[in-house]
Structure 1
Amino acid sequence: MSREEVKKLFHKNIMLIGFMGTGKSTVSSYLSKWLDLEEVDLDAMIVEKAGTSIANLFEQYGEEYFRDLETETLLEVQQREQLIVSCGGGIVLRDENVSAMKEHGKIVLLTATPETVYERVKDCKNRPILNGNMNVEYIAKLMEKRRERYLQCADIIIKTDNKSVKQISEEMIQKLIV
């Protein structure tokens, strides 16, 4: 199937969800180029709107304030179609976010083991939820807390461990066009 044929199948948005380090930003960037669709990174939009980092938003105003900005930004994005949207790891914590994502797109859950996530994020300084807890055990605990919620929300699930971004993207497209 050609890129144009695949692109015609998507009238809605492709919403990438999952724990940090599962590949949402990497996959959205690849899909955007491959399918010639616009990529939107919700966290980057929030940073731009707020004029400060997510870590600063958490530190200065708290998680609830950040989640409000996240919902507001998601609702803005959902007014457009045919986007590849990389969502922050906690976007599924609010029912209203999940409803908006399902109404305007397909939700694709990217997963990885705690060990894979740790390897991907261990050198990052912009992961406020891991402050002082950058280890596999803590990541595993956090992932387990959100696991059920992610699974409830997902239309499609893709494991990203030991796969190239091309393999992940091809698997996703195959599952989306069925």
Structure 2
Amino acid sequence: MVAGKTSTSRRLARQCGLATIDLDAYIERRERRAINQIFAEQGEQAFRDMETQVLDEFAHKGPMLVSCGGGIVLREENREILKNNGFVVYLQVTAEQAVERVGDVSTRPLFKNLETARQTIAGRLPMYEDVASVSIDTVGKSINVVAQEIQEILEKEGVLCLRQG
């Protein structure tokens, strides 16, 4: 939640010459409504069904960076898709940093306050660690620094990343 996934993915895509997709933004465009509207009108289960469908769709496309919402790990099926179809980078964020970054909480249906953020992060941590190929601590780091760290890891691991310029 608000770890910088989309911004980091965009920066890394430019650095590596890869396509990138933000699953939440894709769902919003496809459904022609915001995620918080989907939650309000159809419930979390319906949103999670959509999320699984698009994750599976993009997992089988060519090399690309996929930015997933923080709740993607809640389903075992999604964790298996992630583990079996890519190199997964977990961007770590503290609850305090999440609260600082979140801005408009009305766009975040599962984000209410610091205590909720703490509980959400703690509850999801084992699932994040289960799927992560690597974890990056984002505390106090800019998007550029985080993207550079990831690029260096991808190159070291032999995962496709073509250094630009």
Correspondence for 1:48: 29
Question: 1:174: how far off?
Answer: 2.3
Range moving further from structure 2, 53-62 or 94-103: 94-103
Task: Pick from 11, 17, 20 the counterpart of residue 39 of structure 1.
Answer: 20
TM-score, normalised by the number of residues in structure 1? 0.83
Runs of 4+ residues over 4 Å off in structure 1: none
Residue 7 of structure 1 corresponds to none
Matched, 1:145 2:145: no
Give the equivalent residue in structure 2 for 1:104: 85
Q: What is aligned with 1:136?
A: 114
Q: TM-score, normalised by structure 2?
A: 0.89
Contact kept in structure 1, 2:12 and 2:151, CA below 8 Å: no
1:172 has 2:150 as partner: yes
Percent identity between matched residues is 37
Query: 2:42 matched to which residue of 1?
Result: 61
Unpaired runs of 5+ residues, structure 1, are 1-19
CA distance in 2, matches of 1:158, 1:49: 31
* Residue of 91, 99, 108 corresponding to 1:127: 108
* Corresponding residue to 1:89 among 70, 92, 108: 70
User: 1:99 & 1:145 partners in 2: Cα distance?
Assistant: 18
Number of matched pairs:
156
Root-mean-square deviation (CA, aligned residues, Å) is 1.2
**Aligned equivalent of 2:55, options 74, 77, 82:** 74
- The answer for unaligned runs of 5 or more in structure 2 is 158-165
TM-superposed deviation, 1:124: 4.2
Query: Does the residue aligned with 1:84 lie in a helix, a strand or coil?
Result: strand
The question of 1:25 aligning with 2:3 is answered: no
Distance in 2, matches of 1:161 and 1:27, equals 14
In structure 1, the residue corresponding to 2:70 is in which secondary structure? Answer: coil
Inter-partner Cα distance in structure 1 for 2:17 and 2:146: 17
Partner SS, residue 110 of structure 2: helix
**Distance across 1 between alignment mates of 2:87 and 2:79:** 10
3-state DSSP class of the match of 1:90? helix
- Larger helix proportion of the pair: 2
Give the Cα separation in 2 of the matches to 1:48 and 1:122: 22
C-alpha distance in 2 between matches for 1:35 and 1:88: 22
